[in-house]
Amino acid sequence: MPTVPARPLRILLAKLGMDTHTVGITVVAHALREAGMEVIFTGLKQTPEAVASAAIQEDVDVVGISSLSAGHTRSLPRLARLLREQGAADKLLVAGGVIPEEDVPLLQEAGYARIFIMGAATAEIVQYLQDWWSARLAAEAARE
Amino acid sequence: MMDVAAQLLAGKVAAGARAIRWLDDRDPRAGELLRRIFAATGRAHIIGVTGPPGAGKSTLVDGIIAEERRRGRRVGVLAIDPTSPFTGGAILGDRVRMSRHALDEGVFIRSMGTRGESGGLSRATYDAALVMDAMGYEVVIVETVGVGQEEIDIVALAHSTIIVCVPGLGDEVQAMKAGLLEAGEILVLNKADREGFEQTWRHLELLLHLRGDGRVAGGWAARLLPAVATRNEGAGAIVAALDEHRRYLEDSGEFARQCGRRSEQQFLALARAALMADLLCGPAAELLSHVRARRLDPYTAAEQLSAQLRAGRTPR
Amino acid sequence: MSRPLDRIPAAEPAAPAPAEEQRRWEREKRAPFVAAHPERREAFVTQALKWPIKPLYTPADLDAAGFDYLRDLGFPGEYPFTRATQPNGHRSDLWTMSQVTGFGKGEDWARRARYMLEQGLQGLILEHDLPTTNGYDSDNPLVEGEVGRAGMALDSLEDLERAFDLPFEKLRYLMSVCNAPQPVNLAMIIAALEKKGVDPRRFVLHIVNGILIEYTCVGRYIYPPVHGLRIATDCIEYIIRNHPNWAPISIISAQLQPAKANPVQEIAFSMAIALAYIDATLERGLDIDTVAPYFHFVINVDMDFFEGICKLRAYRKIWAQLMKERYGARRPEALKIRMMTSPTTIALTLQQPLNNIGRLAIMATACALGGAGESMTTPLHDEAHALPAEEAIRVGAALQHIVAHETGVADTIDPLAGSYYVEALTKQIESAALAEIDKIAQMGGALRAIESGYFQRTLGREQYERNQDIETGRRKWVGVNHLVHPGEKRQIEIFRAANTMEEEQVARLRALRARRDNTAVAAALDAVRAAARSGSNLVPPCLAAVKVYATHGEVCDALRDVFGVHTPDSQLTGV
């Protein structure tokens, strides 16, 4: 039996607001699992408050938001602010979906490290997260 | 730097979550943490919830949480889902069904993957329950993966085990008979509004009757209860039964004995692991290679190992 | 001297049988050719079903499928309706041409609707925003940022009164998409039409009323499935009894496509869902010959040309068969499926959006060849970006006219019939779909399939597989993994709804609540709850409530009080 990775990356995937499209998030969740990550899914129609609370309870490394409706310019920054306020600023924030390129700078300023525009390959998302995780693990090891 | 042990003893969720992460990842800091919080454990009522997939466990747990909250108790939940044996990854989706408690400060829900274990739990589950215990959660619910016959680990870990069934399972009920149904304290027949309910109910009643545990003087007679979890029906009676069971355990001294037994099992498991690790570095390593090459039979090898240990040869 | 026997010509050698000839051809011509010119793919399979595509189809394939012209095809307008439901195909009447619109406040929708009617469209589709389809008012804190974005914000009768500032004489039909809170939405439309003095017999209102598909794959549900079905049936019954010229239900099997259903699953799941609604409606004391004609399907075709065409043909045949054999329907109107066809949006790409115009043209042609049904909708070529822009609307409308008037495909009925490939594929799809319908029936029908998560799990698996097809390059998609232009500059104008819209809508809502008769509203909401509990039809009390300006969210909440809300067992499909 293959060995379980000693420290799998834990990522919370959520959909904020009224948007109920699950295909994108389903496909990403499967791909992340195939890549050996633990994916915690908090459900549909979530508020930023509920997602922040779950992110802390689950001690995730990454929070990934999927957004296909158009309310992202308000709800995503609010989530980022809540996480900072609750001492969880060290979690990586990423988002994906139908997010116009014009909105990317606003979201990056709000704290989102990377936006995956709809159509981004899951391989790209997986690679990005794996690279980030390796760097983080290396930094932690160096500190000890 | 967060003093995780101190903060979790003060009830801080972020610290508790970090502690459980250390346990899950087998971080070297976990041992020290457990030492520091051990004295604060032994109070929580650990409740196991198991049953085949599709039985509605998570929805039922959601109802039980609400009911416990109504009684003013703080609730911790460990929701276990299977880790892929091929990739090591997992999709942990149980908390979806408990999302109405997302903002309740008295509820702490944590999802875990089985991470290579096959009994429906992960290796860190028990210690994670201890963390929640130490944080002050009076009730800790452990919802297992639900693979049926193999799920006996939960019985050893929990004070009270709830087995969730659904009508018309047929073959699956047969399969569960062999293992779980003989050990659960509360049987819940969920989806009571389904066809086939009467038949399955009678079947389960018969099973419990055959178990005969109610006939032992002072023993606990297993409860059979109906529920329609999606309509929030049945949780009240289930929690009442859980409370009754807890009182029974405390009155009979079983509660403390079980906690003691679990500590014992933890100790033995840890000791075993430590000893094996040592041995496999020492004389056992050589013996092992002989056995693998079939130059030596296993029985002789084992005897030789015992003899060496008795003779006081310390492992390298 | 010749003898008599010499004059009898020698017998011709027996003509080789076609199968033999085909083997010869394969052996002598094709195989050697392929040896020298390897095929460009390892395996040729259909796009969604992934069934093997043979190099050549011949009469032998028809024989193998047991094809019989009269039994399998028949004649247009006659059982089993495979070739067409109307006796003259599209030679007398073309399909109605329509497009999606709907965003923002009532008057914004009205403005664009008027523009579309001027461009030659005759039908409009009213999509509502996410707060509305999920049963919330615009000022509910849960929906902040969503108001008026994905469709029109409909908080009260006032909003519809503003939206219905339209030339109703140009409108042939109006479709409203608002599944979970359907009785409230229906009530508002009826009340608004009354206020505007529009004669409901002069055009057709279609309400989608498709809650079962929402549970299956779209996710805009409110109440538990068993109550969702009851609510939908109330609306169906109300319309059949009070507005018999309207359409009370649309099975939008097209929504299964973004969820990656293949044609067999599309047919089987949508038919099973239709059967669930039919069974529920028959229990209200209506009979199949009355009820069946009201059912209406919205079916998309994808880029696989033949899967699309054969799927449409199979739909017609299977509906006819089910109505006849399962219910004993006798009226031709009950046996003829009604459908709206459309090119699918999932085939369109974000990259190189102009390519999408070509894709739309191909898919619209496939619809016409498969039999476009009563109407065709064209999505817009930049739909992958945001909501439609004016230019895209014009192009979409023109496409349909081009297919209809410039290609000749609609000038004869079912022109591809008899094609060896088309008939073989149609039969294959048909038998696989019937088998799946049977399997779902064994489970207890669509409601059980939804509650047990069968539909959702099946689709979830497909979603991952199809995504992998693209990422691994197994399937070529121009602009995405083939002929990619890195760093391309996009020039399509993106449509942006005004940002102040939400604030304005919230302000209007507050003003409304202040000036209406709140006692009357409270009483009306009580009546809604009572009907929910007693089981009587919900539409009349909803109508009374919206007329006193109870808001959309308030009526939905009254129903939540009685029915509770739905949290499904598996929200993440296929997990």
Amino acid at C82: T
Strands, E assignment, C128-216: 173-177, 204-207
State how far the Cα of C531 lies from the Cα of C525, in Å rounded to an integer: 10
pLDDT level of residue C74 (50, 70, 90 thresholds): very high
Note whether residue C478 is domain-resident: no
Which 3-state string (H, E, C) describes C261-307?
Answer: CCHHHHHHHHHHHHHHHHHHHHCCCCCHHHHHHHCEEEEEECCCHHH
Chain C hits for A70, CB-CB cut-off 8 Å, are 145-146, 149-150, 386, 497
Same domain, B233 and B178: yes
Q: Is the pLDDT of residue B129 over 80?
A: yes
More confident residue, C232 or C151: C232
Do B68 and B27 reside in the same domain of the chain? no
Same domain, B34 and B46: no
B186-200, C256-270, C489-503: range with highest mean pLDDT:
C256-270
Shared domain for B281 and B204, answered yes or no, is no
From C573, which residue of chain B is nearest by alpha-carbon distance? B93
Highest mean pLDDT among A71-80, C68-77, C87-96: C68-77
B85 touches chain A (CB under 8 A): yes
Q: Shortest CB distance from A58 goes to which of B17, B86, B99?
A: B17
Decide if pLDDT at A115 tops 70: yes
Q: Which residues constitute the domain of residue A83?
A: 10-143
Residue B257 falls inside a structural domain: no
As a whole-number percent, the residues of chain C with pLDDT over 90 amount to 57
Residue C34 is assigned to a structural domain of this protein: no
- Regarding whether B278 and B172 lie in a shared domain, the answer is no
Bridge partners of B186, per DSSP, are B162, B223
What per-residue confidence (pLDDT) applies to C9? 63
Lowest mean pLDDT among A89-93, C124-128, C407-411, C519-523: C124-128
Best of C223, C562, C567 to substitute, by most chain B Cβ atoms within 10 angstroms, is: C567
Cβ–Cβ contact B262 with A under 8 A: no
Is C120 inside any structural domain? yes
Flag whether B242 is in a domain: yes
Residue A108 C-alpha, separation from nearest chain C C-alpha, in angstroms: 19
Number of domains in chain A: 1
Give the one of C569, C571, C575 whose C-beta lies nearest to B56's C-beta.
Answer: C569
Give the containing element (helix H, strand E) for C538: none
Q: Count the residues in chain A.
A: 144
Q: For chain B, what is the HEC assignment?
A: CCCHHHHHHCCCHHHHHHHHHHHHHCCCHHHHHHHHHHHHCCCCEEEEEECCCCCCHHHHHHHHHHHHHHCCCCEEEEEEECCCCCCCCEEECHHHHHHHHCCCCCEEEEEEECCCCCCCCCCCHHHHHHHHHHHCCCEEEEECCCCCCCCCHHHHHCCEEEEEECCCCCHHHHHHHHCHHHCCCEEEECCCCCCCHHHHHHHHHHHHHHHCHHHCCCCCCCEEEECEHHHCECHHHHHHHHHHHHHHHHHHCHHHHHHHHHHHHHHHHHHHHHHHHHHHHCHHHHHHHHHHCCCCCHHHHHHHHHHHHHCCCCCC
**B97 lies in the same domain as B226:** yes
Q: What is the pLDDT of residues A6-18, one digit of tens each?
A: 689 999 999 887 7
- Considering only A11-20, C184-193, C219-228, which range has the smallest mean pLDDT? A11-20
pLDDT digits (tens, 9 = 90+) for B231-277: 778 999 999 999 999 999 999 888 888 888 888 887 887 788 778 87
Q: Domain check: are B25 and B152 in the same one?
A: no
Give the three-class secondary structure for C47. coil
- pLDDT, position C386: 46
| Domains of chain C: total | 1
How far is the C-alpha of C295 from the C-alpha of C297, rounded, in Å?
7
pLDDT > 70 fraction of chain A, expressed in percent and rounded:
91
**CB–CB contacts below 8 A, A to B:** 94
**Nearest CA among C416, C302, C412 for reference residue C370:** C416
Mean pLDDT of chain C: 87
Q: Is B82 on the interface with A (CB under 8 A)?
A: no
The DSSP output letter for C198 is -
**Residue A1 belongs to a domain:** no
Domain of A102, CATH number, reads 3.40.50.280
CATH number for the domain spanning B120: value is: 3.40.50.300
Q: How many whole angstroms separate alpha carbon C432 and alpha carbon A66?
A: 35
In a domain, B260, yes or no: no
Provide mean pLDDT across the span C540-565. 95
Mutate to test the interface with C, among B60, B92, B96 (most CBs of C within 10 A): B96
Instruction: Using the predicted structure, report yes or no on whether residue C362 has a pLDDT greater than 90.
Output: yes
B33 and B165 both lie in a single domain:
no
**Segment C183-202 mean pLDDT:** 91
Please measure the distance between the N-terminal and C-terminal CA atoms of chain B and give it in whole angstroms.
37
Residue B215 sits in the same domain as residue B129: yes
Q: Which subunits sit against B, judged by 3+ Cβ pairs under 8 A? A: A, C
On chain B, the residues whose CB falls within 8 A of the CB of A1 are: 85, 116
Q: Considering B208, B230, B252, which residue would you say is the last residue of a domain? A: B252
pLDDT at A2: 42
Q: Which residues of A touch C463 (CB under 8 A)?
A: 23, 26-27
- The reply to whether A72 falls in a domain is yes
* Among the ranges given (B16-25, B236-245, C244-253, C561-570), the one the predictor scored with the smallest mean pLDDT: C561-570
- Residue C375, φ and ψ in degrees, nearest 5: -155, 160
Higher-confidence residue: C182 or C502? C182
Query: Cβ separation of A2 and B88 shorter than 8 Å?
Result: yes
What is the nearest CA distance from B17 to chain A, expressed in angstroms?
5
Residue C531 has pLDDT above 90, yes or no: yes
Q: Per the domain annotation, does A5 fall within a domain?
A: no
Convert the pLDDT of each residue in A31-81 to its tens digit. 999 999 999 988 777 889 999 999 999 999 999 998 766 567 788 999 999
d(CA B169, CA B163): 14
* Prediction ipTM score: 0.91
Look at C149 and A70 and tell me if their CB atoms are within 8 Å: yes
Confidence at C102, pLDDT banded by 50, 70, 90 = very low
C383 pLDDT band, cuts 50/70/90, is low
pLDDT band at C501 (very low <50, low <70, confident <90, very high): confident
Judge whether residue C492 has pLDDT over 60. no
Average of per-residue pLDDT across C452-470: 87
Q: Does any CB of chain A come closer than 8 Å to the CB of residue B91?
A: yes
User: At C502, is the pLDDT very low, low, confident or very high (cuts 50, 70, 90)?
Assistant: confident
CATH number at residue C396: 3.20.20.240
What percent of chain B has pLDDT above 90? 37
Length of chain B counted residue by residue: 316
Residue ranges making up the domain that contains B217: 41-252
Q: Would residue C44 count as lying in a domain? A: no
Number of domains in chain B: 3
Flag whether C304 is in a domain: yes
- Residue C190 belongs to what domain range? 80-471
Residues B24 and B93 occupy one common structural domain: no
Considering only residues B111 and B151, tell me which one the structure prediction assigns the higher pLDDT.
Answer: B111
pLDDT over threshold 50, residue C473:
yes
Pairs of residues, one from chain A and one from chain C, whose beta carbons lie less than 8 Å apart: 98
Same domain, B7 and B50: no
